Amino acid sequence: MIDDTLQGQSFTHTSERIMGSMENFDSQSAALAGRRRHRRENWAYLFILPVMLALSAFTFYPFLRGIYLTLFVTDKIGNTAKFVGFSNYERIWKSGALMESMGDTLKYALAICAGTFLLALVLAYLCVDKKKGSRIYQTMYSMPLAIATAPIAAVGTYIFGKYGMLNGLLGTNVTWLGNEHTKFICLVILVCWCNCGSSFIYLLVGFRNVPDELIECANIDGANAFVKFFKIYLPIASPQVFYVIFLNILTAFKSFTMIKMLFNSTNEPGLRVLNSQIYQMGFVQNRFETACIYALALCLLIFLVTRIQFILEKRMVHYQ
């Protein structure tokens, strides 16, 4: 980033120099150049204006309005009805629902992160050598990138449904998605499948960064695939590994579509993740102020995890 700004500056300096030589040429053109620069500045503001308008209307304003709403009781359509100060926070804190929801979110995020990461790691290691035909299976492994949650939820309800495939294969009669113990596992399997495409790509890029000479040396020394994986590939791809782990945690914080579609509700006990509660409170129960508090909690959680990521990155990741 610093490099970029420096570059930009040196560039403007050169154009400045051109302008400067023109200025020496005669004083009239100097005034002209000044005016031109001024006009150019106006162009620049015109160029950024739409972006800034959109950002303030649909990113900054709603963020602040969300905080503002938490101090009120809102009516059915989301207008502020009565100022209540911090009593909304107090009510939610006392009910314990927020902490429960945070716990669910963390449990869900860690399970998804672990599953996705391991799956992507195995797949990326399988693709590490470029060979004839490797493009085909590489495309297959990264396929989930293109697929939305809705169709996978449809397949999931068929596989795990009461009259579905798994029961047919095993000859059992279990309601996989209704059962307290199995529903979490089913959900995690499906979400991991959906999420692993991007992790796969990042890890593959990391593994492909490993220089060929290193691998050749290891081969001559008789290192097997496991040793090569743990001693060469994993350390060299450590920036990507690190990035993928945190990417998955953050993605899991934000995803609840699969929960909503598999169980057809956003209030499933044990799976009341923060984002599903935002939907549940805001758009099912029309309690917008409560939803905003959940949204703030989510924001805080994301912020904390990003901080941890920055701190750990400085300590643990070594760039080549």
* Out of 31, 81, 147, 284, the residue judged to bind another protein by CB under 8 A: 147
Shorter beta-carbon distance to another protein: residue 111 or 294: 294
* Out of 31, 54, 284, 308, the residue judged to bind another protein by CB under 8 A: 54
- CA pair distance 123, 201, nearest whole angstrom: 10
**Contact positions with another protein (CB under 8 A) in 217-236:** none
Q: Would you count residue 149 as binding another protein (CB under 8 A)?
A: yes
- Give the DSSP letter string of 39-92: HHHHHHHHHHHHHHHHHIIIIIHHHHHHHHHTTEEE-TTS-EEEE-TTHHHHHH
Taking Cα atoms as reference points, which of 251, 232, 231 lies closest to residue 243?
Answer: 251
Shorter beta-carbon distance to another protein: residue 161 or 270: 161
Q: Would you count residue 154 as binding another protein (CB under 8 A)?
A: yes
The residues facing 82 across adjacent strands are 73
What sections of the chain are H helices per DSSP?
A: 2-25, 27-55, 61-69, 87-95, 97-126, 134-142, 149-160, 165-170, 180-208, 212-220, 225-228, 234-236, 238-254, 257-263, 274-279, 288-316
283 CB-side CA count, 13 A: 8
**Contact positions with another protein (CB under 8 A) in 254-313:** 254, 257, 261, 264, 275, 278-279, 282-283, 288, 291-292, 295-296, 298-299, 302, 306
* Out of 143, 214, 284, 311, the residue judged to bind another protein by CB under 8 A: 143
**Contact positions with another protein (CB under 8 A) in 156-215:** 156-159, 161, 163-165, 167-169, 193, 198, 201-202, 205-206, 209
Show Cβ contacts of residue 184 under 8 Å, excluding neighbours closer than 6 positions.
Answer: 111, 270, 271
Shorter beta-carbon distance to another protein: residue 137 or 230: 137
Binding characters for another protein, 81-120, by CB under 8 A (x = yes): ----------------------------------------
* Out of 31, 140, 284, 316, the residue judged to bind another protein by CB under 8 A: 140
Q: Would you count residue 61 as binding another protein (CB under 8 A)?
A: yes
Please, what is the minimum distance in Å from the beta carbon of residue 163 to another protein? 4
Please, what is the minimum distance in Å from the beta carbon of residue 299 to another protein? 5
